Chains A and B, each alone.
Chain A
Amino acid sequence: MKKINPYFLSLLSALALILFTSGCYTILNHPRVETEPQNDYEYYSCSDCHGQNAYFGHYYPPLAYPGMWHDYYIQPWWYGEIDNTGEQDIPVRSIIGDREIRIQDNDFITNPGNIRGGSPTAREVRKTDTEKSNTNSGSTKDNRTKRIKRSERKARESSKTRDNNDSRDNNKDRSGDDNRR
């Protein structure tokens, strides 16, 4: 076989180098942040920043792929069964990268994609570890942060109210038990 052209090898090496060391946009592993979130507006989960709709935004809109083709073409395999519409209420589990995120009833994901669309269907991923994502930069991010904050607040308030009611009920039950005793 003919000797391989050295220019070809150089080109090959240069390209491989560019592809695999660039890391300018594609991110395989999310930066690990050890500290706990200090403020309400900080992000709790990677999916706060990298929601699926933000992800899909770079590709054909889901409209172009009717539901029957959506799963085949658009749904990443590592997103498992997370519903990108953010409207399903059934408990699902998904593997994201090397971590497992459990999504339970009443949890919500704050999905920038959805919020940007004007119909916030906010959910929050309950954290199973102490990670939090880093934040985006730029004015868009600030707007998103405000909106997320507003929606999160609303959700937290309702959650708090529910918790208070629950705790009140629990106290009642407990007192009832005590009375019975």
Chain B
Amino acid sequence: MNKGKIVIFTVIMLFAAISVRSQIIETISARSQIIGSLQADRLGFLNTYQSGGRAASLGGAYTAVSNDAFALIYNPAGLTQIKKKELSFGIHYSTEDLSTNYDGHNFLLPNSSAGISHLTTVYPFPTYRGSLVLGFGVFKVADSDLEYFKSSYRADLNGTVTNTLNQTGNIYQYRFGAGVDISPRIAAGANLVVWDGSSGFVEDISFEHTTLDSFYVFSDDVSVNLDGLSMEIGLLFRLSKALRAGLKISTPAWLSYDGNAVEYYDGSYSDGAGWTTDPYYYYIEDEYTLPMKLRGGVSYRFRNLLLCADAEYCDYTQTEYNGKKLYVNRAGAVLEKTLDFSFGAEFTLPFYPAKLRAGYSYHPSRFIGMEELAYIEEPTPETINIKSNWSLFDVIKKRQLYSFGVGGLIDKVLKLDLTVSVGSFERETEYLTETVEFTKTSLSTSYRF
């Protein structure tokens, strides 16, 4: 095939892709306004908080501590404190029980996941003065596992609407970091963060008429890949031998979801006649820009006791979806400014190579609204019109995590950290109450040589 034919073929394929895409946007126009918000809420990339064994057990208050490979997450300037080559590896087991109550109908769906949480390596260069350390790590920062089932009788539709979602996926970050001492008391560092992930979900929206024998189901099968880039700059101030302060600025993160999907629409009328639409294949090219974040922390060491605290501010209202701010017509903005904070304490046992830790962290919801229920209005194959009830919610139970952990040193080179975090979050709208209870157990090991 010569070059000319290749160009013509590519142009035709592009037009075909664009036409399919525009077709599906038209079809689901009523709901497309909130698709960006839905994805942001479900895929989990706004909730990349608390990673790591020791760091998590301190509630994530690690910006001014950061003296292990998790400096790559919390404060790259903290890398300068690492004096030995380090290999670190961790696994986790997480559970997330989601219970929904829509219009008096209760459903409890347990979700769980297990896997590798991080793999890192750190190399401190030999120095005569100061410190220069490079690090690289792969971190699982969030997962997109989600499963829910909502069902309700809708008097206005004279039937029962059911929504189900079954979603799996992970979000990883590849972090390349460097830290350098720029004065006896100040260290600086930077991270280049490459986002990577994948997610897939099947969503069904079905309706069953109460009196007539009619039924239909709209099914969406989506598979997407995540790519993204961001950067972080950190500073660590050694104010005294015991007191430190840390600062981290995260640049906006540019995320891109690319993938493909297929939609089906099947049903039957009350007279028994049925329909099955041809599957719609379409491409997904969604882009998100997450806003800058500012994080600060202090730590104080008194003998065998380490105390630390962190705060992180982010104006999530600046989040963009395909170049526009996320919003929903009637509800307006769907995100808000947040201030996360956390505290931690660590006690080093005097006569045994072990440490006991406890932490607390508060992570307010980034969203102020959520989808209550989706349904199809006027169910005919010619006019598919998916509608969504999107509503502002009240927070009943704040998203707080309590962490406990223990760490031990074996033969002076191998450190093991075990952490258990528990928390919950509850929000409600007029018709829907959603409660999430989560636990995360992580085991982290690091070898220094």
Contact = CB atoms under 8 A, between A and B. Distances in A.
Contacts of A26: 127, 129-132, 180-182
A12 B231 contact: yes
Interface extent on A, as a size class? 35 or more
Contacts of B129: 25-27, 50, 55
Nearest to B244: A60
Contacts of A55: 129
Nearest to A31: B128
A46 B127 CA distance: 11
B338 interface: no
Contacts of B128: 27-30, 46, 50, 97
Interface residues of B, number: 50
B297 to A, nearest CB: 16
A15 B178 CA distance: 11
B449 A77 contact: yes
Nearest to A78: B126
Interface stretch (B80-88, B143-151, B269-277, B428-436): B80-88
A83 B255 CA distance: 49
B438 to A, nearest CB: 31
B181 A4 contact: no
A83 B188 CA distance: 29
B180 A22 contact: yes
28 contacts: A2-B256, A4-B229, A8-B231, A11-B251, A12-B192, A19-B190, A22-B180, A25-B129, A25-B181, A25-B184, A28-B128, A30-B128, A58-B181, A58-B184, A59-B238, A60-B241, A61-B241, A69-B348, A72-B415, A73-B81, A73-B83, A76-B124, A77-B83, A77-B85, A77-B124, A77-B448, A96-B126, A97-B128
B258 interface: yes
Interface of A: 1-2, 4-5, 8, 11-12, 15-16, 18-20, 22, 24-30, 46, 50, 55, 57-61, 63-66, 68-69, 71-78, 96-97
B387 interface: no
B84 A72 contact: yes
A11 B412 contact: no
A27 B130 contact: yes
Given A50-B129, A59-B81, A24 B233 contact: no
CB-based closest 9 A-B pairs = A26-B130, A78-B126, A68-B353, A76-B83, A27-B129, A77-B84, A1-B256, A1-B227, A30-B128
